[in-house]
Amino acid sequence: MGVGLKVAIIGSGPAGMYTAGALNSKCPGCQIDILDKLATPYGLIRTGVAPDHQTTKNVSRAFDKIMENENVRFVGNIGFGSDISLTTLKSLYDVVVMAIGTPKDRELGVDGEDKSGVFGAQTFVYWYNGHPEFRDAVPHLDIKHAIVIGNGNVALDVARVILSTEEEMIKSDLVDHAGKMIFKSPIETVRIIGRRGPEHAQFSTKELSEFGNLSTAVTYSDPTLIPDDFQSENAKETKVVNNNLKLLRGYSANKTDSTKRLLTLDFLLSPVAVLGDETMSGVRFELNRIEHGKAIGTGEYTDLPCDLLVTCIGYELKNVDGLPVEKGIVKNIDGRVEEGLYVVGWAKRGPSGTIGTNRLDSQAVVDRIVEDYCNGPDTTKEGADGLDDYCTANGIASVSFNDWKKINEAELQRAGSESPRRKFVRKRDMLTLVHEETQ
Ligand SMILES: Cc1cc2nc3c(=O)[nH]c(=O)nc-3n(C[C@H](O)[C@H](O)[C@H](O)COP(=O)(O)OP(=O)(O)OC[C@H]3O[C@@H](n4cnc5c(N)ncnc54)[C@H](O)[C@@H]3O)c2cc1C
Protein backbone atom coordinates (compact mmCIF):
# COMPACT_ATOMS: atom_id res chain seq x y z
CA MET A 1 0.00 0.00 0.00
CA GLY A 2 1.39 3.44 -0.97
CA VAL A 3 1.50 4.94 2.50
CA GLY A 4 0.33 8.56 2.80
CA LEU A 5 -0.51 8.97 -0.89
CA LYS A 6 -0.79 12.72 -1.50
CA VAL A 7 -3.76 13.67 -3.64
CA ALA A 8 -4.88 17.10 -4.89
CA ILE A 9 -8.44 17.37 -6.15
CA ILE A 10 -9.00 20.55 -8.13
CA GLY A 11 -12.62 21.65 -7.75
CA SER A 12 -14.93 21.10 -4.76
CA GLY A 13 -18.16 20.47 -6.71
CA PRO A 14 -20.05 17.18 -6.43
CA ALA A 15 -17.50 15.29 -8.58
CA GLY A 16 -14.56 16.46 -6.47
CA MET A 17 -16.39 15.73 -3.22
CA TYR A 18 -17.51 12.25 -4.26
CA THR A 19 -13.91 11.55 -5.35
CA ALA A 20 -12.62 12.61 -1.93
CA GLY A 21 -15.23 10.44 -0.19
CA ALA A 22 -14.40 7.36 -2.26
CA LEU A 23 -10.63 7.86 -1.92
CA ASN A 24 -11.00 8.18 1.79
CA SER A 25 -12.64 4.79 2.11
CA LYS A 26 -10.77 2.94 -0.64
CA CYS A 27 -7.27 4.28 -0.04
CA PRO A 28 -6.92 4.61 3.75
CA GLY A 29 -4.12 6.85 4.92
CA CYS A 30 -4.10 9.04 1.84
CA GLN A 31 -3.90 12.81 2.34
CA ILE A 32 -6.40 14.79 0.29
CA ASP A 33 -6.32 18.52 -0.47
CA ILE A 34 -9.41 19.83 -2.26
CA LEU A 35 -8.55 23.10 -3.99
CA ASP A 36 -11.09 25.56 -5.37
CA LYS A 37 -10.77 28.96 -6.95
CA LEU A 38 -13.71 30.17 -4.87
CA ALA A 39 -13.72 30.78 -1.13
CA THR A 40 -16.88 28.67 -0.92
CA PRO A 41 -17.07 24.92 -1.53
CA TYR A 42 -19.42 22.59 -3.46
CA GLY A 43 -19.46 24.11 -6.95
CA LEU A 44 -22.85 24.20 -8.66
CA ILE A 45 -24.66 23.16 -5.48
CA ARG A 46 -24.18 26.78 -4.43
CA THR A 47 -23.81 28.53 -7.78
CA GLY A 48 -26.01 26.46 -10.13
CA VAL A 49 -28.91 24.70 -8.39
CA ALA A 50 -31.90 27.06 -8.34
CA PRO A 51 -32.21 29.25 -5.23
CA ASP A 52 -35.76 28.01 -4.58
CA HIS A 53 -34.69 24.34 -4.71
CA GLN A 54 -33.22 24.20 -1.24
CA THR A 55 -33.88 20.49 -0.69
CA THR A 56 -31.51 19.66 -3.55
CA LYS A 57 -28.80 21.66 -1.80
CA ASN A 58 -29.04 19.42 1.28
CA VAL A 59 -26.47 17.12 -0.33
CA SER A 60 -23.90 19.59 0.97
CA ARG A 61 -24.40 18.07 4.44
CA ALA A 62 -22.93 14.79 3.19
CA PHE A 63 -20.06 16.78 1.65
CA ASP A 64 -19.48 18.54 4.99
CA LYS A 65 -18.91 15.13 6.58
CA ILE A 66 -16.26 14.31 3.96
CA MET A 67 -14.54 17.66 4.60
CA GLU A 68 -14.49 16.96 8.36
CA ASN A 69 -12.23 13.92 7.92
CA GLU A 70 -8.78 14.48 9.44
CA ASN A 71 -6.95 13.62 6.24
CA VAL A 72 -9.10 15.90 4.05
CA ARG A 73 -8.50 19.66 3.67
CA PHE A 74 -10.40 22.36 1.80
CA VAL A 75 -8.05 24.94 0.29
CA GLY A 76 -10.24 27.64 -1.20
CA ASN A 77 -9.33 30.83 -3.06
CA ILE A 78 -6.64 29.21 -5.18
CA GLY A 79 -7.25 29.07 -8.90
CA PHE A 80 -5.76 26.34 -11.04
CA GLY A 81 -4.15 27.96 -14.07
CA SER A 82 -4.06 31.39 -12.44
CA ASP A 83 -2.57 30.86 -8.95
CA ILE A 84 -1.05 27.42 -9.42
CA SER A 85 0.05 25.40 -12.43
CA LEU A 86 -0.28 21.73 -13.25
CA THR A 87 3.51 21.37 -13.11
CA THR A 88 3.59 22.71 -9.55
CA LEU A 89 0.67 20.53 -8.49
CA LYS A 90 2.35 17.45 -9.92
CA SER A 91 5.56 18.29 -8.09
CA LEU A 92 3.68 18.49 -4.77
CA TYR A 93 1.24 15.57 -5.09
CA ASP A 94 1.40 11.94 -6.28
CA VAL A 95 -2.03 12.23 -7.87
CA VAL A 96 -3.90 15.25 -9.25
CA VAL A 97 -7.62 14.90 -10.01
CA MET A 98 -9.27 17.57 -12.14
CA ALA A 99 -12.86 18.23 -11.02
CA ILE A 100 -13.25 21.72 -12.44
CA GLY A 101 -16.56 21.18 -14.22
CA THR A 102 -17.33 22.84 -17.55
CA PRO A 103 -17.25 26.54 -16.71
CA LYS A 104 -18.04 28.02 -20.14
CA ASP A 105 -21.34 28.41 -21.98
CA ARG A 106 -21.60 26.73 -25.37
CA GLU A 107 -22.14 29.26 -28.13
CA LEU A 108 -25.25 29.28 -30.29
CA GLY A 109 -23.16 29.89 -33.38
CA VAL A 110 -25.54 32.43 -34.95
CA ASP A 111 -25.04 36.00 -36.15
CA GLY A 112 -25.50 38.67 -33.51
CA GLU A 113 -25.04 36.58 -30.40
CA ASP A 114 -22.48 39.08 -29.12
CA LYS A 115 -25.17 41.80 -28.83
CA SER A 116 -25.97 43.25 -25.46
CA GLY A 117 -28.91 41.45 -23.86
CA VAL A 118 -27.65 37.96 -24.79
CA PHE A 119 -26.41 35.75 -21.95
CA GLY A 120 -25.33 32.16 -21.63
CA ALA A 121 -27.10 30.17 -18.91
CA GLN A 122 -23.97 29.86 -16.81
CA THR A 123 -23.51 33.64 -16.74
CA PHE A 124 -27.18 34.27 -15.94
CA VAL A 125 -27.46 31.52 -13.33
CA TYR A 126 -24.14 32.47 -11.71
CA TRP A 127 -25.45 36.05 -11.53
CA TYR A 128 -28.66 35.18 -9.70
CA ASN A 129 -26.85 32.66 -7.50
CA GLY A 130 -24.15 35.11 -6.38
CA HIS A 131 -21.02 33.67 -8.01
CA PRO A 132 -18.49 36.42 -7.16
CA GLU A 133 -17.08 36.58 -10.70
CA PHE A 134 -20.59 37.28 -12.08
CA ARG A 135 -21.91 39.75 -9.50
CA ASP A 136 -22.31 42.49 -12.11
CA ALA A 137 -22.91 40.33 -15.20
CA VAL A 138 -26.52 41.40 -15.77
CA PRO A 139 -26.78 45.21 -15.86
CA HIS A 140 -30.58 45.49 -15.77
CA LEU A 141 -33.86 43.64 -16.32
CA ASP A 142 -35.77 46.64 -17.62
CA ILE A 143 -37.22 44.43 -20.34
CA LYS A 144 -40.53 43.27 -21.76
CA HIS A 145 -39.81 40.04 -23.65
CA ALA A 146 -37.37 37.28 -22.76
CA ILE A 147 -36.49 34.17 -24.72
CA VAL A 148 -34.83 31.18 -23.11
CA ILE A 149 -33.37 28.77 -25.65
CA GLY A 150 -33.01 25.15 -24.55
CA ASN A 151 -35.20 22.28 -23.48
CA GLY A 152 -33.57 21.06 -20.28
CA ASN A 153 -34.15 21.80 -16.60
CA VAL A 154 -31.77 24.76 -16.61
CA ALA A 155 -34.06 26.53 -19.12
CA LEU A 156 -36.99 25.87 -16.79
CA ASP A 157 -35.03 27.20 -13.78
CA VAL A 158 -34.08 30.39 -15.61
CA ALA A 159 -37.64 31.08 -16.80
CA ARG A 160 -39.13 30.38 -13.37
CA VAL A 161 -36.62 32.60 -11.57
CA ILE A 162 -37.13 35.50 -14.03
CA LEU A 163 -40.89 35.34 -13.43
CA SER A 164 -40.74 34.85 -9.68
CA THR A 165 -42.10 37.29 -7.13
CA GLU A 166 -40.57 38.31 -3.84
CA GLU A 167 -43.13 36.20 -2.03
CA GLU A 168 -42.35 33.13 -4.13
CA MET A 169 -38.65 33.55 -3.36
CA ILE A 170 -39.02 34.26 0.34
CA LYS A 171 -37.75 30.81 1.33
CA SER A 172 -34.93 30.84 -1.22
CA ASP A 173 -31.37 32.14 -1.13
CA LEU A 174 -31.77 34.27 -4.25
CA VAL A 175 -29.12 36.98 -3.86
CA ASP A 176 -30.15 40.55 -3.09
CA HIS A 177 -28.82 42.18 -6.27
CA ALA A 178 -30.74 39.73 -8.49
CA GLY A 179 -33.93 39.85 -6.43
CA LYS A 180 -34.00 43.65 -6.65
CA MET A 181 -33.95 43.52 -10.46
CA ILE A 182 -36.20 40.49 -10.92
CA PHE A 183 -39.02 41.63 -8.63
CA LYS A 184 -39.32 45.05 -10.24
CA SER A 185 -38.81 43.94 -13.85
CA PRO A 186 -41.67 45.02 -16.16
CA ILE A 187 -41.29 41.76 -18.07
CA GLU A 188 -44.43 40.59 -19.88
CA THR A 189 -43.50 37.40 -21.71
CA VAL A 190 -40.98 34.60 -21.37
CA ARG A 191 -40.72 32.00 -24.13
CA ILE A 192 -38.84 28.74 -23.62
CA ILE A 193 -37.91 27.50 -27.06
CA GLY A 194 -36.69 24.08 -28.23
CA ARG A 195 -35.59 23.02 -31.69
CA ARG A 196 -37.31 19.64 -31.49
CA GLY A 197 -40.75 18.60 -30.26
CA PRO A 198 -42.16 18.39 -26.73
CA GLU A 199 -41.56 14.64 -26.68
CA HIS A 200 -37.81 15.28 -27.11
CA ALA A 201 -37.48 17.80 -24.29
CA GLN A 202 -35.26 16.80 -21.34
CA PHE A 203 -37.50 18.33 -18.69
CA SER A 204 -38.04 16.62 -15.37
CA THR A 205 -41.75 16.42 -14.58
CA LYS A 206 -41.34 18.05 -11.18
CA GLU A 207 -39.66 21.14 -12.62
CA LEU A 208 -42.16 21.39 -15.47
CA SER A 209 -45.06 21.15 -13.01
CA GLU A 210 -43.73 24.13 -11.03
CA PHE A 211 -45.00 26.45 -13.77
CA GLY A 212 -48.50 25.63 -12.60
CA ASN A 213 -47.73 27.44 -9.32
CA LEU A 214 -46.52 30.79 -10.67
CA SER A 215 -48.69 33.45 -9.09
CA THR A 216 -48.23 36.22 -11.67
CA ALA A 217 -47.77 34.27 -14.90
CA VAL A 218 -49.89 31.91 -16.94
CA THR A 219 -48.21 29.05 -18.81
CA TYR A 220 -49.18 28.07 -22.34
CA SER A 221 -48.06 25.59 -24.99
CA ASP A 222 -49.47 25.16 -28.52
CA PRO A 223 -51.73 22.05 -28.34
CA THR A 224 -51.22 21.20 -32.02
CA LEU A 225 -47.55 20.36 -31.33
CA ILE A 226 -48.22 18.02 -28.40
CA PRO A 227 -48.51 14.34 -29.40
CA ASP A 228 -51.25 12.24 -27.81
CA ASP A 229 -48.84 9.55 -26.73
CA PHE A 230 -45.13 8.73 -26.68
CA GLN A 231 -43.60 5.25 -26.76
CA SER A 232 -39.92 4.31 -26.41
CA GLU A 233 -38.06 1.08 -25.65
CA ASN A 234 -37.04 2.68 -22.37
CA ALA A 235 -39.94 2.34 -19.92
CA LYS A 236 -38.68 5.12 -17.64
CA GLU A 237 -38.37 7.54 -20.54
CA THR A 238 -41.85 6.60 -21.79
CA LYS A 239 -43.31 7.36 -18.37
CA VAL A 240 -41.50 10.69 -17.88
CA VAL A 241 -42.30 11.96 -21.38
CA ASN A 242 -45.98 11.01 -21.14
CA ASN A 243 -46.23 12.74 -17.76
CA ASN A 244 -44.66 15.84 -19.30
CA LEU A 245 -47.00 15.73 -22.30
CA LYS A 246 -49.94 15.53 -19.92
CA LEU A 247 -48.70 18.65 -18.10
CA LEU A 248 -48.19 20.47 -21.40
CA ARG A 249 -51.72 19.56 -22.51
CA GLY A 250 -52.95 21.07 -19.24
CA TYR A 251 -50.99 24.27 -19.95
CA SER A 252 -52.37 24.39 -23.50
CA ALA A 253 -55.88 24.69 -22.05
CA ASN A 254 -54.93 27.89 -20.17
CA LYS A 255 -56.38 31.19 -21.31
CA THR A 256 -53.64 33.53 -22.50
CA ASP A 257 -55.69 36.72 -22.52
CA SER A 258 -55.54 37.11 -18.74
CA THR A 259 -53.89 40.08 -17.06
CA LYS A 260 -51.08 37.82 -15.94
CA ARG A 261 -47.67 37.66 -17.54
CA LEU A 262 -47.24 34.95 -20.16
CA LEU A 263 -44.85 32.00 -20.14
CA THR A 264 -44.89 29.83 -23.27
CA LEU A 265 -43.21 26.55 -24.09
CA ASP A 266 -42.52 26.64 -27.83
CA PHE A 267 -41.09 23.87 -29.97
CA LEU A 268 -39.68 23.12 -33.43
CA LEU A 269 -37.80 26.42 -33.74
CA SER A 270 -34.06 26.89 -34.34
CA PRO A 271 -32.43 30.30 -33.83
CA VAL A 272 -30.66 31.61 -36.92
CA ALA A 273 -29.84 35.21 -35.97
CA VAL A 274 -30.05 37.67 -33.11
CA LEU A 275 -31.64 40.86 -34.48
CA GLY A 276 -31.07 44.52 -33.63
CA ASP A 277 -28.21 46.98 -33.47
CA GLU A 278 -25.75 46.84 -30.59
CA THR A 279 -28.62 45.92 -28.32
CA MET A 280 -30.78 43.03 -29.36
CA SER A 281 -34.39 43.54 -30.40
CA GLY A 282 -35.44 40.03 -31.38
CA VAL A 283 -34.44 36.61 -32.58
CA ARG A 284 -35.06 35.06 -36.02
CA PHE A 285 -36.03 31.40 -35.90
CA GLU A 286 -36.37 28.80 -38.63
CA LEU A 287 -39.38 26.53 -38.27
CA ASN A 288 -38.44 22.85 -38.07
CA ARG A 289 -40.06 19.53 -38.79
CA ILE A 290 -38.89 16.23 -37.32
CA GLU A 291 -37.43 13.47 -39.47
CA HIS A 292 -36.15 10.30 -37.74
CA GLY A 293 -35.96 12.19 -34.45
CA LYS A 294 -33.89 15.03 -35.98
CA ALA A 295 -34.93 18.67 -36.42
CA ILE A 296 -34.87 19.66 -40.08
CA GLY A 297 -35.29 23.28 -41.16
CA THR A 298 -38.33 23.98 -43.33
CA GLY A 299 -37.03 27.20 -44.92
CA GLU A 300 -39.78 29.18 -43.20
CA TYR A 301 -38.77 31.85 -40.70
CA THR A 302 -40.34 33.84 -37.90
CA ASP A 303 -39.01 36.86 -35.97
CA LEU A 304 -39.84 37.05 -32.27
CA PRO A 305 -39.36 40.26 -30.28
CA CYS A 306 -36.99 39.91 -27.39
CA ASP A 307 -34.81 42.13 -25.22
CA LEU A 308 -33.27 39.37 -23.11
CA LEU A 309 -31.99 36.12 -24.55
CA VAL A 310 -30.63 33.36 -22.31
CA THR A 311 -29.13 30.36 -24.07
CA CYS A 312 -29.32 27.13 -22.10
CA ILE A 313 -27.69 24.80 -24.59
CA GLY A 314 -24.92 23.30 -22.50
CA TYR A 315 -21.44 24.03 -21.28
CA GLU A 316 -17.87 23.18 -22.10
CA LEU A 317 -14.38 23.40 -20.75
CA LYS A 318 -11.94 25.78 -22.33
CA ASN A 319 -8.18 25.29 -22.34
CA VAL A 320 -6.66 25.82 -18.91
CA ASP A 321 -2.94 25.66 -18.25
CA GLY A 322 -2.11 23.09 -20.90
CA LEU A 323 -4.77 20.53 -19.94
CA PRO A 324 -5.54 18.37 -22.97
CA VAL A 325 -9.03 19.64 -23.82
CA GLU A 326 -10.98 18.14 -26.72
CA LYS A 327 -14.66 18.64 -27.59
CA GLY A 328 -15.17 20.70 -24.44
CA ILE A 329 -13.88 18.12 -21.94
CA VAL A 330 -10.50 16.93 -20.67
CA LYS A 331 -9.32 14.20 -23.03
CA ASN A 332 -9.31 11.00 -21.00
CA ILE A 333 -9.72 7.26 -21.08
CA ASP A 334 -12.07 6.24 -18.27
CA GLY A 335 -10.82 9.16 -16.18
CA ARG A 336 -7.11 8.62 -16.81
CA VAL A 337 -5.47 11.63 -18.51
CA GLU A 338 -1.74 10.98 -18.12
CA GLU A 339 0.54 9.57 -15.43
CA GLY A 340 -0.59 11.01 -12.09
CA LEU A 341 -3.43 13.01 -13.65
CA TYR A 342 -7.13 12.06 -13.62
CA VAL A 343 -10.40 13.79 -14.38
CA VAL A 344 -13.91 13.37 -12.93
CA GLY A 345 -17.39 14.88 -13.26
CA TRP A 346 -18.50 17.26 -15.98
CA ALA A 347 -14.87 17.99 -16.93
CA LYS A 348 -14.56 14.26 -17.73
CA ARG A 349 -17.82 13.42 -19.47
CA GLY A 350 -19.47 16.74 -20.32
CA PRO A 351 -22.43 18.53 -18.78
CA SER A 352 -25.05 15.85 -18.34
CA GLY A 353 -26.74 13.96 -15.55
CA THR A 354 -27.74 14.89 -12.05
CA ILE A 355 -25.66 15.48 -8.95
CA GLY A 356 -25.94 11.77 -8.14
CA THR A 357 -24.53 10.74 -11.53
CA ASN A 358 -21.18 12.13 -10.39
CA ARG A 359 -21.07 9.73 -7.46
CA LEU A 360 -20.75 6.49 -9.43
CA ASP A 361 -18.55 8.20 -11.97
CA SER A 362 -16.12 9.45 -9.32
CA GLN A 363 -16.09 6.06 -7.59
CA ALA A 364 -15.11 4.38 -10.87
CA VAL A 365 -12.20 6.80 -11.36
CA VAL A 366 -11.08 6.25 -7.76
CA ASP A 367 -10.95 2.52 -8.54
CA ARG A 368 -8.45 3.36 -11.30
CA ILE A 369 -6.38 5.51 -8.91
CA VAL A 370 -6.34 2.69 -6.35
CA GLU A 371 -5.27 0.25 -9.07
CA ASP A 372 -2.52 2.59 -10.31
CA TYR A 373 -1.18 3.98 -7.04
CA CYS A 374 -2.34 2.52 -3.77
CA ASN A 375 -0.14 -0.56 -4.04
CA GLY A 376 2.92 1.38 -5.11
CA PRO A 377 5.89 2.63 -3.09
CA ASP A 378 5.42 5.05 -0.20
CA THR A 379 5.10 8.68 -1.16
CA THR A 380 7.95 11.14 -1.22
CA LYS A 381 5.79 14.13 -2.15
CA GLU A 382 5.29 17.10 0.17
CA GLY A 383 1.53 17.45 -0.30
CA ALA A 384 -0.18 19.84 2.14
CA ASP A 385 3.04 21.27 3.65
CA GLY A 386 4.39 22.01 0.20
CA LEU A 387 1.15 23.69 -0.86
CA ASP A 388 1.14 25.86 2.27
CA ASP A 389 4.72 26.95 1.57
CA TYR A 390 3.75 27.67 -2.04
CA CYS A 391 0.78 29.81 -0.93
CA THR A 392 2.92 31.76 1.54
CA ALA A 393 5.64 32.35 -1.02
CA ASN A 394 3.12 33.51 -3.61
CA GLY A 395 0.90 35.67 -1.37
CA ILE A 396 -2.16 33.42 -1.78
CA ALA A 397 -4.63 33.89 1.09
CA SER A 398 -6.15 30.42 1.04
CA VAL A 399 -9.45 29.68 2.77
CA SER A 400 -9.73 26.60 5.00
CA PHE A 401 -12.85 24.61 5.80
CA ASN A 402 -13.01 26.33 9.20
CA ASP A 403 -12.83 29.68 7.41
CA TRP A 404 -15.72 28.59 5.20
CA LYS A 405 -17.68 27.60 8.30
CA LYS A 406 -17.32 31.19 9.53
CA ILE A 407 -18.58 32.55 6.21
CA ASN A 408 -21.42 30.04 6.28
CA GLU A 409 -22.38 30.96 9.84
CA ALA A 410 -22.39 34.67 8.99
CA GLU A 411 -24.59 34.01 5.94
CA LEU A 412 -27.05 32.02 8.05
CA GLN A 413 -27.15 34.68 10.75
CA ARG A 414 -27.84 37.60 8.44
CA ALA A 415 -30.63 35.80 6.55
CA GLY A 416 -34.24 36.93 6.86
CA SER A 417 -36.56 34.95 9.11
CA GLU A 418 -37.70 32.61 6.30
CA SER A 419 -34.69 32.60 3.98
CA PRO A 420 -32.07 29.88 4.53
CA ARG A 421 -29.09 32.23 4.02
CA ARG A 422 -28.09 35.63 2.71
CA LYS A 423 -25.04 35.02 0.56
CA PHE A 424 -21.92 37.12 0.41
CA VAL A 425 -21.35 37.85 -3.26
CA ARG A 426 -17.98 39.56 -3.18
CA LYS A 427 -14.90 37.50 -2.47
CA ARG A 428 -13.28 40.45 -0.70
CA ASP A 429 -16.16 40.53 1.82
CA MET A 430 -15.67 36.84 2.53
CA LEU A 431 -11.91 37.22 2.91
CA THR A 432 -12.31 40.27 5.15
CA LEU A 433 -14.69 38.34 7.37
CA VAL A 434 -12.31 35.39 7.62
CA HIS A 435 -9.35 37.67 8.22
CA GLU A 436 -11.06 39.74 10.92
CA GLU A 437 -12.41 36.66 12.66
CA THR A 438 -8.96 35.09 12.90
CA GLN A 439 -7.33 38.19 14.44
C1 LIG B 1 -27.83 25.76 -13.57
C2 LIG B 1 -27.70 24.33 -13.12
C3 LIG B 1 -28.65 23.80 -12.26
C4 LIG B 1 -28.54 22.46 -11.86
N5 LIG B 1 -29.49 21.96 -11.03
C6 LIG B 1 -29.42 20.66 -10.66
C7 LIG B 1 -30.41 20.11 -9.81
O8 LIG B 1 -31.37 20.80 -9.40
N9 LIG B 1 -30.31 18.80 -9.47
C10 LIG B 1 -29.28 18.01 -9.93
O11 LIG B 1 -29.21 16.81 -9.60
N12 LIG B 1 -28.30 18.52 -10.73
C13 LIG B 1 -28.35 19.81 -11.10
N14 LIG B 1 -27.39 20.33 -11.91
C15 LIG B 1 -26.27 19.46 -12.33
C16 LIG B 1 -25.14 19.40 -11.24
O17 LIG B 1 -24.95 20.67 -10.71
C18 LIG B 1 -23.85 18.83 -11.85
O19 LIG B 1 -24.10 17.46 -12.17
C20 LIG B 1 -22.63 18.88 -10.95
O21 LIG B 1 -22.50 20.13 -10.30
C22 LIG B 1 -21.34 18.62 -11.73
O23 LIG B 1 -20.32 18.51 -10.79
P24 LIG B 1 -18.79 18.89 -11.06
O25 LIG B 1 -18.11 18.72 -9.76
O26 LIG B 1 -18.29 18.14 -12.23
O27 LIG B 1 -18.79 20.43 -11.50
P28 LIG B 1 -19.10 21.77 -10.69
O29 LIG B 1 -20.23 21.61 -9.76
O30 LIG B 1 -19.16 22.84 -11.71
O31 LIG B 1 -17.80 22.02 -9.78
C32 LIG B 1 -16.59 22.49 -10.32
C33 LIG B 1 -15.79 23.17 -9.22
O34 LIG B 1 -14.50 23.49 -9.74
C35 LIG B 1 -14.16 24.81 -9.37
N36 LIG B 1 -13.26 25.32 -10.40
C37 LIG B 1 -13.54 25.60 -11.71
N38 LIG B 1 -12.46 26.05 -12.34
C39 LIG B 1 -11.46 26.05 -11.42
C40 LIG B 1 -10.08 26.43 -11.48
N41 LIG B 1 -9.50 26.87 -12.61
N42 LIG B 1 -9.35 26.33 -10.34
C43 LIG B 1 -9.91 25.87 -9.19
N44 LIG B 1 -11.21 25.53 -9.09
C45 LIG B 1 -11.95 25.60 -10.19
C46 LIG B 1 -15.47 25.55 -9.33
O47 LIG B 1 -15.39 26.73 -8.52
C48 LIG B 1 -16.40 24.49 -8.73
O49 LIG B 1 -16.39 24.54 -7.33
C50 LIG B 1 -27.46 21.66 -12.32
C51 LIG B 1 -26.51 22.21 -13.19
C52 LIG B 1 -26.62 23.53 -13.58
C53 LIG B 1 -25.60 24.11 -14.53
Q: Do 131 and 182 reside in the same domain of the chain? A: yes
| Mean pLDDT, all residues of the chain | 95
Does residue 125 have its Cβ closer than 6 Å to ligand 1?
Answer: yes
Cα 55 to Cα 28, 59, 61, 214, 407, distances in angstroms:
32, 8, 11, 19, 21
- 410 in a domain, yes or no? yes
pLDDT digits (tens, 9 = 90+) for 78-121: 999 999 999 999 999 999 999 999 999 999 999 999 999 999 99
Same domain, 51 and 184: no
Pocket lining: 127 vs ligand 1, CB cutoff 6 Å:
no
Claim to verify: residue 216 and residue 284 sit in the same structural domain: yes
Residue 134 Cα, ligand 1 centroid: separation in angstroms?
15
The C-alpha atoms of residue 47 and residue 227 are separated, in whole angstroms, by: 36
129: nearest Cα among 204, 54, 35 = 54
Closest-CA residue, ligand 1 atom 31, reads 13
Using a 6 Å cutoff on CB, does residue 9 contact ligand 1? Answer: no
DSSP code per residue over 291-360? ETTEEEEEEEEEEEE-SEEEE-S-EEPPP-TT--EETTEE--BTTEEETTEEE-THHHH-S-S-TTHHHH
pLDDT (tens digit, 9 = 90+) per residue, 332-386? 999 999 999 999 999 999 999 999 999 999 999 999 999 998 777 778 899 999 9
Regarding whether 338 and 296 lie in a shared domain, the answer is no
pLDDT above 90 coverage of the chain, percent: 93
Say yes or no: CB of residue 48 within 6 Å of ligand 1.
Answer: yes
Nearest Cα residue to atom 4 of ligand 1: 49
- Which pLDDT score is estimated for 293? 86
Q: What is the pLDDT of residues 54-71, one digit of tens each?
A: 999 999 999 999 999 999
In a domain, 256, yes or no: yes
pLDDT grade, residue 437 (50/70/90)?
low
Domain count, the chain: 2
Residue 240 Cα to ligand 1 midpoint, Å, equals 25
Pocket test for ligand 1, best of 162, 355, 361, 391 (most atoms within 8 A of CB): 355
pLDDT of residue 377: 77
d(CA 262, CA 166): 18
What digits encode the pLDDT tens for the residues 6-51?
Answer: 999 999 999 999 999 999 999 988 999 999 999 999 999 999 999 9
Instruction: Look at strands 308-311 and 341-343 and give their pairing.
Output: unpaired
What range does the domain containing 412 cover? 6-103+317-438
